[in-house]
Amino acid sequence: MSLKDKLLENRRLNEQNQFKVAEQQSRLTYELGYSSIENIKPDYGAMYDPFVKIYSDLQLKLQNNTSQNPAFDRKYCDDILNSVNTIKVALENIVSNVEIWEESVQLAGLMNGIDLMGTTNTRYKTMNVLSGNLKGGLQIEAVDNDINKMAFNVYDDEGFIEKIFLNKFNKLSETQELFILIPSTTEQNNDFKLLNPEIFEQEIVQDQPVLTGGVTETYRKKDKQGQVELKSEDIGNNMVQDFYTVDKDIIKNNIIFNNEMEKIATGILSEYEGFDQAIAFNNNILAQVTDHYLRTGKALNKNQQDKFIEDYKTWFLETEIGNKFPLGEPKPKNTIQPQEEIVEEQVQEEVVLS
């Protein structure tokens, strides 16, 4: 199976899991007369029972000066006490992850949304359990009877999903979420357009510049005589509209365009500690245009980073700039504008350009 097929299969499994969430939510209306199935809850008492006895025994030895390794025993007692705060922080981190998850699921596969290709199927299930969207819950254990290796075991109604070590989870939560979000460059893209009126056509609305969606005359395709190429198209109601075509090759070779695109793309590559977010952006956003996919969970070498930057430029030209735009007002079919109006318009354009 190719990398692309593996990523698409992972997305399919996550979408299937989300469908299961929708099914369970839909049944709620029809199950008001039935008692709900209780979710699995952590049994903290059962986990702490052996450590309470160990703590008491060690404290007694320390007080009676019978401990063979006082430094180790004091450290172990401190670890037992500190484990309570570890659990508390982990539960707080779960809440903060769930808050982000709920909104991000709605944007799944889009900017600011969940990376459906890179987020593993088990993690996707886990987040739906933690958010209460799927029946299931948590159990807690001290792996190998080690208080420093506490872990949540996550279950759904079909059984065990995955194990989450609390110390690792809390460390991860200092910099990112349990899942991968696709970065958004919408604001940077719009700022680039607004700050470059020599490329992107603007009009003033209530004393503020507003993008029209089109480009200035320099970046419109010209005919052999140097005039803007216009194509008249039927728009219905016995009316036609003139359209010009954007010359994306000129934009592609523009120094300002290249510099700004490199800044935005480099920002994605350098903003996070790893490359997970950049890979998520590539596989979910850029690949729609380039059909080039990156393996998740891997660092990107120099060549891959350079390609990411060039692919961002390609994606921007394809998706952020339209291919054609209307020019002037619609006019009735078979109506030719007077020659003097055309000449006058050309003169006016020459004055503006000069």
Per residue in 128-178, pLDDT tens? Answer: 999 999 989 999 999 999 999 999 999 998 999 999 999 999 999 998 889
Q: What is the structure's pLDDT at 293? A: 97
**Structural domain includes residue 64:** yes
158 and 21 inside one domain:
yes
Domain check: are 32 and 112 in the same one? yes
Q: What is the pLDDT of residue 353?
A: 47
11 and 127 part of one domain: yes
The pLDDT score that the predictor gives to residue 272 is 81
The encoded tokens of residue 342 equal 């055309």
Give the model's pLDDT for residue 144. 96
With respect to residue 349, please indicate whether it lies within any of the assigned structural domains: no
Q: What is the pLDDT of residues 321-337, one digit of tens each?
A: 999 999 999 999 875 55
131 and 201 assigned to the same domain:
no
| pLDDT at residue number 175 | 86
Q: Is residue 344 part of a domain?
A: no
Task: Tell me which residue range forms the domain holding 302.
Answer: 186-219+247-320
The verdict on 213 and 136 lying in the same domain is no
Our count of domains for the chain comes to 2
The two structure tokens encoding residue 8: 């698409």
Of 142, 172, 202, the residue at which a domain comes to its end is: 172
For 148, residues 6+ apart whose C-beta sits below 8 A from its C-beta are 79, 83, 167
Same domain, 82 and 15: yes
33: Cβ–Cβ under 8 A, 6 or more apart, which residues?
A: none
Number of H helices, E strands in the chain: 12, 9
Q: What angle do CA 116, 120, 123 make, to 5 degrees?
A: 105
**pLDDT at position 30, please?**
65
Is residue 331, in this structure, part of any structural domain at all? no
* Buried residues in 164-180 as b, exposed as e (16+ CB within 10 A): bbbeebbeebeeebbbb
> What is the Cα–Cα distance from 113 to 103, expressed in whole angstroms?
8
Is residue 112, in this structure, part of any structural domain at all?
A: yes
141-142-143-145 Cα dihedral, nearest 10 degrees = -130
Nearest to 41 by CA among 135, 148, 172: 135
pLDDT in tens, the chain (354 residues): 899 999 999 999 999 999 999 888 777 666 655 544 456 789 999 999 999 999 999 999 999 999 999 999 999 999 999 999 999 999 999 999 999 998 999 999 999 999 999 999 999 999 999 999 998 999 999 999 999 999 999 999 899 999 999 999 999 999 888 999 999 999 999 999 999 999 999 999 998 999 999 999 999 999 999 999 999 999 998 899 999 999 999 999 999 999 999 999 999 999 887 899 999 999 999 999 999 999 999 999 999 999 999 999 999 999 999 999 999 999 998 755 555 444 444 545 554 444
Same domain for 203 and 93, yes or no, is no
Domain assignment present for residue 47? The answer is yes
Question: What's the confidence (pLDDT) of residue 153?
Answer: 97
Domain assignment of residue 234, yes or no: no
The answer for residues whose C-beta is within 8 angstroms of residue 220's C-beta and 6 or more apart is: 228, 229, 244, 245, 246, 247
Half-sphere exposure of 97 (CA within 13 A, CB side): 26
Torsion sign over Cα 158, 161, 163, 168: negative
83 and 198, same domain (yes or no)? no
pLDDT of residue 12: 96
Same domain, 265 and 132: no
Considering the domain boundaries, does residue 46 fall inside one?
yes
| 21 and 164 inside one domain | yes
10/81 same-domain check:
yes
- Separation between Cα atoms, residue 177 and residue 48, nearest integer Å: 28
Whether residue 21 is found in the same domain as residue 92: yes
